Amino acid sequence: MTGNVGIVIVSHSPDVARGTADMVRQMVGEEVPLAWCGGASGGGLGSSVEAITAAIDRAWSDKGVAILVDLGGAELNSEMAVELLSQERRDKVVVCNAPIVEGAVIAATEASGGASLDEVRRTAEELSPA
């Protein structure tokens, strides 16, 4: 495990999440803790608080974790997962308002250079219209 901010990718579709993670690995490399999840618990498109919580755990870094999401349900479920974390972890996890693929690559690139959680989030969110 490195000292870099971790990245979690949450899509409604496991294929999209896995594919986005593949792109991050290929473009950014192994310097960043990375985890993905996609699909509802029990199968089908959707997002699962349990799976998101587990992904946060896999990508955990003491510098924090940035979550990239695709659509509404993934965002709400990610926010819910963050709220259910322990107090000391909760403040180190952010859900980025950024497009999932571009956001994940940019966030991971920023993280791989040792940036803080705040810098990672800000860089990803520059991709979204204000």
Partner 1 sequence: MDITAATRRALIEGVADSVIRHADELTGLDQAIGDGDHGINMRRGFEAVLADLDRLAALPLPEALHAIGMILVMKVGGASGPLYGTLFMELGRGLPVTPGLADMAAALDAAVAAVKRRGKSDAGYKTMLDVLIPVLETLKSGHPGGLSGLAAAAAEATRPMKAVRGRASFLGDRSIGHVDPGARSSALMIGAICETLEAAP
> Which are the catalytic amino acids?
12
Minimum CB separation from partner 1 for residue 129, in Å?
Answer: 15
Residues binding partner 1 (CB under 8 A):
12, 40-42, 44-50, 71-73, 75-77, 79-80, 84
Q: What angle do CA 60, 5, 70 make, to 5 degrees?
A: 80
26 versus 44: smaller Cβ distance to partner 1: 44
Angle formed by the axes of helices 49-58 and 72-83, nearest 10°: 70
Least separation in angstroms between residue 14's CB and partner 1 is 13
User: Least Å distance between CB 70 and partner 1?
Assistant: 11
Nearby residues of 33 by Cβ (< 8 Å), 6 or more positions away:
1, 2, 4, 6, 7, 58, 59, 60, 61, 65
C-beta closer to partner 1: residue 31 or 75: 75
